[in-house]
Amino acid sequence: MGTDFLYIRSQESLQQLCEQLDKESLISFDTEFVAEDSYRPLLCLLQVATENHIAIIDPLEIDDLTVFWNLLVDPERTVIVHAGREEILFCYRATGKRIPNLFDIQVAAGFNGFEYPASYGKLVQRIVGKTLDKEETRSDWRHRPLSSQQLDYAAQDVRDLIRIYKYLSEKLRKHGRLTWLAEETHLRQEELSELESSENWHRLSGISALSGQSLSIARGLWNWRDNRARERNLPPRKILRDDLIIELARRGSADPRRVSALRGMEYRNTRQLIPELSNVIEDSIKHPPPAWPRKHRYGKGQPASMLTQFLSAAMAFICHQKHMAPMLVATSDDLRDFVQYRLSNESDPDHPPSLLKGWRADIVGRELDDLLDGKLAIVLDDPHSEIPIKFIET
């Protein structure tokens, strides 16, 4: 086994570790999990690092991790992760709370002009100057006992997190961007907690083609599938595929013969569900179509693609000048929303698009406005440059 970390495999040793961690103001952590065979990802390993110590916690041998999760939601402590979506969700499911002082080094790197999203290995290589071992990337972390190679691999994923945190946080502090990072982190945690507690039938692949009664059926089948997957601890897709839900909803028939005639229903595991699916469809038809989750629409139709491409080039230039990762600032949908909002006569001033809110408005929103208003122009500057354009005032 590695010599520079503790391997925690009992409730008593976890309690002792957490008593030590409770004295720390900085904690970094990572997880190893397997997602393909269960309703929710199965947590298989928890790696924790402070400035002086590393510990690997084995959730498959410890019944209750509450004492650890509670440390992370203490507002007096900074918690460091890399691309921490699943780490956030593990903590939220255990405590019902968000992590108050979360620092995601992937997002922080984007605020410092690094590639976004950057892998942990790339950040370690660029900031720390070493190359990580990737030999155990495809390990099945459910199997016990774990080898010394697996444990060493797991430990390396947290060994440099605090060092990278210090480097990035100092640069953010120097450029006055720590509040931007806090704003973005809060928004992302808010979106994840809403996603966790909401019906997500509207995320079905192909759902946008349905309307009316078909939507009622799709929602009913989604809820049935979700409940059944939770009860059996299986991924929902292993109960019934998205495309079958969409096609059953489109056909709109509860007749078992029509249901069984659908290609994909002939397999034994799916065929036995037909009576239950027919009942769900029959019940769903009685309900009014569900309302789509509220999303503010900015005007009608689509803006001219040339205009959004023009603004995309402008945004790339702005981000280059201000050392920001463009992919962190806006997606193509964000740019379309911005254009529609500015060109529409029906824009709601109380619900501006993301590029006109918070730190994004500070970074790019105002200059994009000046471009649309004709106050700025784009000209070719250096054809050989990575960013060959520049702005001039008109």
Among 138, 170, 196, give the residue marking a domain's end. 196
19 and 66 fall within a common domain: yes
The range of the structural domain enclosing residue 254 comes to 201-285
Domain stops at, among 171, 196, 221: 196
**pTM exceeding the 0.75 threshold for the entire prediction:** yes
> What pLDDT is stored for residue 2 in this prediction?
46
Omega within 30 of 0 (cis) for the link into 326: no
Residues 365 and 351 in one domain: yes
- When divided into structural domains, the chain yields a total of 3
Q: What angle is formed at CA 314 by the lines to CA 309 and CA 319, rounded to 5 degrees?
A: 125
Question: Is residue 237 in a domain?
Answer: yes
CB 120 within 8 A of CB 98: no
Whether residues 104 and 49 share a domain: the answer is yes
77 Cβ contact list (under 8 Å, min separation 6):
24, 25, 26, 27, 71, 101
**Is residue 294 domain-resident?**
no
Residue 292 lies in a domain: no
Task: Supply the pLDDT for residue 317.
Answer: 94
Asked if residue 298 belongs to a domain, the reply is: no
Residues 154, 259: one domain? no
Residues 148 and 93 in one domain: yes
What pLDDT is stored for residue 346 in this prediction? Answer: 65
What integer pLDDT is reported at residue 349 of this predicted model?
76
The pLDDT of residue 1 is 41
Regions of the chain short of the pLDDT cut 70: 1-3, 294-297, 299-301, 346-347
Q: How far is the C-alpha of 129 from the C-alpha of 339, rounded, in Å?
A: 42
Describe the chain by its helix, strand, coil percentages, rounded to 5: 50, 10, 40
Domain membership flag for residue 85: yes
pLDDT at 137: 74
Q: Please name the amino acid found at residue 115.
A: E
Q: Do 131 and 279 belong together in one domain?
A: no
pLDDT at 268: 84
142-189 per-position pLDDT tens digit: 999 999 999 999 999 999 999 999 999 999 999 999 999 999 999 999
